[in-house]
Amino acid sequence: MVFSINDRETIIFDGAMGTMLQKRGLKRGEIPELLNLTAPDLIRSIHDEYFDSGCDVVSANTFGANRYKAEQAGRPLADLVSSAVEIAKTAASNRIGKYAALDIGPCGRVLQPTGDLPFEEAVEVFSEIVRAGSQAGADLILLETFTDLYELKAALIAAKENSDLPVLATMSFEENGTSFFGATVESMVLTLQALGADALGVNCSLGPRQLVPIVQRILSSSTIPVMVQPNAGLPLFENGTARYDVTAEEFADHIKKFVEEGATIVGGCCGTDPGYIRLLKERLEGVVPGKKKSVRKTGVCTPSRTVSFGDDTVIIGERLNPTGKKTLQAALRAKDMDFVLKEAIRQQEQGAHILDVNMGLPDIDEPEMLKKAVIEIQSVVDLPLQLDSSDPNALSQAARIYNGKPLINSVNGKKESLQKILPIAKKYGAAVLGLTLDDEGIPSSAEGRLRIARTIMEEAQKFGIPKEDVLIDCLVMTVSAQQEQAGETLRAVRMVREELGLKTVLGVSNVSFGLPSRPIINRTMLTMALMQGLDAPIMNPGDEGMRQAIAAFRVLMGKDPQAEGFIAEYSGAEEKKPEKDICMEGPLALSQAIKLGLRTEAVKATEVLLSGKGPLEIIENDIIPSLDSVGREYESHAIFLPQLMKSAEAAKASFELLRSIIAREGTSVSEERAKMVIATVHGDIHDIGKNIVKVIMENYNFRMIDLGKDVPPEKVVEAVKEHDAGIVGLSALMTTTVSSMKTTVDLLRKECPGVKVIVGGAVLTDPLAEYVGADHYAKDAMEAVRILNSK
Amino acid sequence: MAEDFNSPEIKEAAILLGIPEDKITSVLLSRIREQYMRIKRASVPRSVFAFFDIEVYASSILFDNTFYIRGRDLADVCRGCKKAALMAATLGSGIDILLRRAQTEDMSNAVILDACASAEIERVTDLAEGEIIKSALPEEYLRMRFSPGYGDVPLEESQKIISALNAERKIGLKLTGMNMLVPMKSVTAVIGISESKTRRGRNCALCNMKESCAYKKRGGSCGI
């Protein structure tokens, strides 16, 4: 018989394996999976006990079997996994309708950017477990106890890519419904069901009592079967040993309630044993699983934030798109992600709920850049992203490594587009935005656009993408060219909403091209579209007129209760002044602003100076001397790191203004800057020191190529060659990573003779710097400046 | 203001930033306080510990007859003990996210924030150590708290502490390939437990930060 799940029957899993092994003498710190090889009968007897107590599925003893653990155990991974599956399978096949699950837990490493494990390596780590387990005959795959949604996504992709077995996926949550790595219950549900898990839920973490609100949240949002495997309560420590505080009776009562509310797959985790399962089986006799009251919703998410469409207006920020933005184009060509990250943070502060990310420029590698942008943006901003590209390859790579459930922008009614984009959305669990155009172009009537929207929806459903994961953009045309079209677009928005029940998205500001005072047209068009039921405008969240239109709309439509949001934003609007560092009489000299570390004042002072001097002159005559004087104060301990950095930030603000002018004027001055590649070495994930040096060096007009943290030696060499950089700065925090610093320097000496290497970091000393073969050791950023400026 | 500086975490953060007590200004103090509040809001401190029977050898310690933690310096510190506590503590992964974002927004706040986070994990570790003291028998005394990375104890020994405490599952603590703790502001440690009282002070000679220690520079020590 083949394992299958349905809504009407309860499936009972086993209880804890670890608890049972400890009772039989497994010591703390021992590797339980080794017992598959050294004591197979012991493992078999535990499975037998669980089957005898009435469970339908046992989990093979493979929870921690992965390449890292196998290395510690000194046994091949495949042996640990296949022996375990074979033991469980044999136990199951002696009975009727019983199954063996390949049990996979977290791999023990943390994915980038928080840790050092690249996403693709994680997929590979799980793939080899899946391959071994399915070859050994597992009936299903259970991914459990995950606390990092990103790691779980890697495991789920691995399971799908390497087997056809059903996959059940559960996470472990704290009492507040958040996992150790910040994932919420709702984000888990959105992500896992979009990725095609066969069931999802919660295990471990807490006792059944504490899980009640979490299970309710899962049941009210999941459209697929729900699984619950609680611990036997919370651990109590008595005489140094742990005991759990929930009896088998109480446990079974709770599980029965979960089943009556709609959970269909149940079992136990830490602290439970066959006694718990036996009682649970008895309690569930004759109990029909309740019907879940989950509502199908259109939503996207990151691990810590979900955005649902329909309840309230969703603002999609449009600023991360290089079209028509010279500074962003220049930043992308220089692979400078700081600019992108700042823009992302700014849009979040301005109230965007989702960020559109488009990295399309004719002369850059778009798939690589979009992927990089997604990783970097997700490391600092928790807003869901709308992946925007016309290149299916770029969309596929970005959707794969995206952490959560993204929105893909876009598919359209053309056959080719549907065939290429929809499978990507399906495989990587994305919602998809459909543009109402096809091979014939954009229909001029609302009916024509509705027809294409329907085609997109139906095609998506054929690929297994539920209707709520399809959003429609009815396309705004330029009113100065086709005046009647604005009305058609608005009508189409309403028709798509009413006739198809789909959520709509619209890039509004195109409407006013070619007209004066565009903001008037834009915000009016926005208001009109919102009245037709538009769910999500794509817009500049910093556009005051648009923001006002939305704020007013929300009050008038009762979406802003007691107008609280509006009042908070607009009461005393007249008194509101732009951010100001400090009250000053008249403008401050740039040197003064830098010394005091006042960003706004530094920018103002730079503007004043610009009326009489060129950008380069200001850098040479004003900024650098001011920084020198601040640096001297720092070195004589008159001021300290926070003040030094504040001055550096003020100088940076001034620099940003000057560089935007240089970029606009397209002069070649920027070429004259000395180039320095900077990186925290391979294996080291602490990069604050490197970032301090970077900010200071930038202020001394070095062109910094920042490779980030945990950078392999080859990447450093590659960057030096690509940018023709004369200097390399390397940082290492720990003694263990000093060796990778040496490897990097050795490779640089071989591949890039003539490059100057300067090193720093907490453990570094002059003798260590000599040992790694560096040219210089700098104890801090100011010393680095002094060394590099004097040579 | 004066009493603020006496608050141990603020003082610790100032020291980590290299600011001596007589040079601190009220502006700096309020900036440190502000960043420390951000750490408090983002931090979800958790810790776990357990007692083990140990056998101390020349340059390693055997725990529960099951696994060894290597290091002559650690063995010296635990010489004569028959029991030890292993412990792990963390501020949680929210701090990593906050520190990353702060470095993108404003490095001058980020350096303060980082120092405050270091001060906070020290406080949380001390609290956990207090729990260990409470759980120990009245006639038992704790030796110096010793973390992998001090002296000659390799960083990779953290893995054994994490496994033995099931710390990954219990507090969400993991290691990178180069044995750095994740979340970043976390601690693992061994504490020998003896039946005689000894000086608990941290021995600077064993510390791998001895070359760059902010306390030592001013002739002091971190005092734990």
Q: What is the pLDDT of residues A189-223, one digit of tens each?
A: 999 999 999 999 999 989 999 999 999 999 999 99
What pLDDT was estimated at residue A673? 80
- Kindly report, residue by residue over A85-105, the tens digit of the pLDDT: 999 999 999 899 999 999 999
B150 neighbourhood in chain A, CB within 8 Å = none
Whole-number percent of chain B with pLDDT over 90: 71
What is the pLDDT confidence band of residue A581, given thresholds at 50, 70 and 90? very low
Q: What is the dihedral of CA A686, A688, A690, A692, to 10 degrees?
A: -170
Distance, in Å, from the CA atom of A741 to the CA atom of A763, rounded to the nearest integer, reads: 12
Flag the least confident range among A31-45, A154-168, A228-242.
A228-242
**Residue B108 is nearest to which of A108, A204, A597, comparing CB atoms?**
A597
Distance, in Å, from the CA atom of A139 to the CA atom of A89, rounded to the nearest integer, reads: 8
What pLDDT was estimated at residue B217? 57
User: Average pLDDT of B77-94?
Assistant: 95
Structure-model confidence comparison of residues B209 and A619, the more confident one: A619
pTM of the model: 0.93
User: Average pLDDT of A108-113?
Assistant: 94
Q: Give the C-alpha distances (Å, rounded to integers) separating A87 from A33, A317, A320.
A: 12, 54, 53
- Kindly report, residue by residue over A361-380, the tens digit of the pLDDT: 988 999 999 999 999 999 99
End-to-end CA separation in angstroms for chain B: 25
What is the pLDDT confidence band of residue B222, given thresholds at 50, 70 and 90? low
- Give the residue from chain B lying closest to A597, CA to CA: B108
Residues B152, B38 contacting (CB under 8 angstroms): no
Flag the least confident range among A187-191, A197-201, B12-16, B84-88.
B12-16
End-to-end CA separation in angstroms for chain A: 76
CA distance B16 to chain A (A): 10
What pLDDT was estimated at residue B219? 57
Whole-number percent of chain B with pLDDT over 70: 85
C-alpha triplet A169, A175, A177: angle, nearest 5°: 50
What is the pLDDT confidence band of residue A580, given thresholds at 50, 70 and 90? very low
What pLDDT was estimated at residue B199? 61
User: Average pLDDT of A495-509?
Assistant: 96
Q: What is the 3-state secondary structure (H, E, C) of A452-517?
A: HHHHHHHHHHHCCCCHHHEEEECCCCCCCCCCCHHHHHHHHHHHHHHHHCCEEEEECHHHHCCCCC
**Residue B178 is nearest to which of A687, A737, A763, comparing CB atoms?**
A737
- Give the residue from chain B lying closest to A599, CA to CA: B106
Return the structure tokens found at A614. Answer: 């060129």
The half-sphere exposure of A140 on its side-chain side, counting CA atoms within 13 A, is 26
What pLDDT was estimated at residue A331? 87
pLDDT score of A671 more than 50: no
ipTM surpassing 0.85, yes or no?
yes
CA distance A558 to chain B (A): 32
SS3 percent helix, strand, coil of chain A, rounded to 5, is 50, 15, 35
User: Average pLDDT of A436-445?
Assistant: 96
B23 neighbourhood in chain A, CB within 8 Å = 637, 640
Contact B180 A734 (CB under 8 A): yes
Return the structure tokens found at A250. Answer: 């109480």
What pLDDT was estimated at residue A791? 58
User: Average pLDDT of A34-56?
Assistant: 97
A110 neighbourhood in chain B, CB within 8 Å = 174, 176, 182
The overall average pLDDT reported for chain B is: 88
- Kindly report, residue by residue over A128-165, the tens digit of the pLDDT: 999 999 999 999 999 999 999 999 999 999 999 999 99
What is the pLDDT confidence band of residue B29, given thresholds at 50, 70 and 90? very high
What pLDDT was estimated at residue B224? 44
Return the structure tokens found at A106. Answer: 């977290």
Distance, in Å, from the CA atom of B47 to the CA atom of B191, rounded to the nearest integer, reads: 14
What pLDDT was estimated at residue B4? 56
Contact B50 A27 (CB under 8 A): no
pLDDT score of A421 more than 70: yes
Tokens 């509101």 correspond to what residue?
A: A576
What pLDDT was estimated at residue A514? 92
What pLDDT was estimated at residue B6? 63
**Residue A342 is nearest to which of B99, B104, B114, comparing CB atoms?**
B104
A640 neighbourhood in chain B, CB within 8 Å = 17-19, 23, 28
What pLDDT was estimated at residue A576? 47
- Give the residue from chain A lying closest to B97, CA to CA: A380
Return the structure tokens found at A529. Answer: 């579209």
pLDDT score of A585 more than 80: no
Contact A683 B176 (CB under 8 A): yes
CA distance B100 to chain A (A): 6
Return the structure tokens found at A336. Answer: 């400078």
CA distance A411 to chain B (A): 33
What is the pLDDT confidence band of residue A403, given thresholds at 50, 70 and 90? very high
User: Average pLDDT of B65-93?
Assistant: 95
Number of residue pairs across A and B with CB atoms under 8 Å? 158
With a CB cutoff of 8 Å and minimum separation 6, the contacts of A639 are A630, A633
Q: What residue ranges define each of the domains in chain B, with the CATH number in brackets?
A: 2-199 (3.40.109.40)
CA distance A267 to chain B (A): 18
Return the structure tokens found at A508. Answer: 């509004």
A198-216 burial, b at 16+ Cβ within 10 Å, e below that, comes to bbbbbbbbbbbebbbebbb
Torsion angles phi and psi, residue A194, rounded to 5: -70, -30
User: Average pLDDT of B10-27?
Assistant: 90
Distance, in Å, from the CA atom of A145 to the CA atom of A143, rounded to the nearest integer, reads: 7
Tokens 């007009």 correspond to what residue?
A: A701
Substitution target in A21, A33, A72, A114 with the highest count of B β-carbons within 10 Å is A114
- Give the residue from chain A lying closest to B50, CA to CA: A240
Distance, in Å, from the CA atom of B103 to the CA atom of A696, rounded to the nearest integer, reads: 13
With a CB cutoff of 8 Å and minimum separation 6, the contacts of B153 are B69, B70, B71, B73, B74, B146, B147
**Residue B108 is nearest to which of A28, A649, A735, comparing CB atoms?**
A649
Contact A180 B171 (CB under 8 A): yes
Residues A195, A157 contacting (CB under 8 angstroms): yes
With a CB cutoff of 8 Å and minimum separation 6, the contacts of A293 are A219, A220, A262
- Kindly report, residue by residue over A250-270, the tens digit of the pLDDT: 999 999 999 999 999 999 999
C-alpha triplet A586, A592, A598: angle, nearest 5°: 80
**Residue A29 is nearest to which of B20, B66, B107, comparing CB atoms?**
B66
Whole-number percent of chain A with pLDDT over 70: 96
> What is the β-pairing status of strands A99-104 and A140-146?
parallel
The overall average pLDDT reported for chain A is: 93
- Kindly report, residue by residue over A623-647, the tens digit of the pLDDT: 999 999 999 999 899 999 999 999 9
Substitution target in A110, A234, A377, A382 with the highest count of B β-carbons within 10 Å is A110
What is the pLDDT confidence band of residue A274, given thresholds at 50, 70 and 90? very high
User: Average pLDDT of A382-394?
Assistant: 97
What is the pLDDT confidence band of residue A231, given thresholds at 50, 70 and 90? very high
Torsion angles phi and psi, residue A103, rounded to 5: -95, 125
User: Average pLDDT of A648-656?
Assistant: 92
Q: What is the 3-state secondary structure (H, E, C) of chain B?
A: CHHHHHCHHHHHHHHHCCCCHHHCCHHHHHHHHHHHHHHHHHCCCEEEEEEEEEEECCCEEEECCCEEEECHHHHHHHCCCCEEEEEEEECCHHHHHHHHHHHHHCHHHHHHHHHHHHHHHHHHHHHHHHHHHHHCCCCCEEEEEECECECCCCHHHHHHHHHHHCHHHHHCCEECCCCCEECCCEEEEEEEEECCCCCCCCCHHHCCCCCCCHHHHCCCCCCC
What pLDDT was estimated at residue B211? 62
pLDDT score of A675 more than 50: yes
- Kindly report, residue by residue over A330-356, the tens digit of the pLDDT: 889 888 888 899 999 999 999 999 999
Residues A702, A726 contacting (CB under 8 angstroms): no
- Kindly report, residue by residue over B134-187, the tens digit of the pLDDT: 999 888 999 999 999 888 899 999 999 999 999 999 999 999 999 999 999 999
CA distance A27 to chain B (A): 7
Whole-number percent of chain A with pLDDT over 90: 82
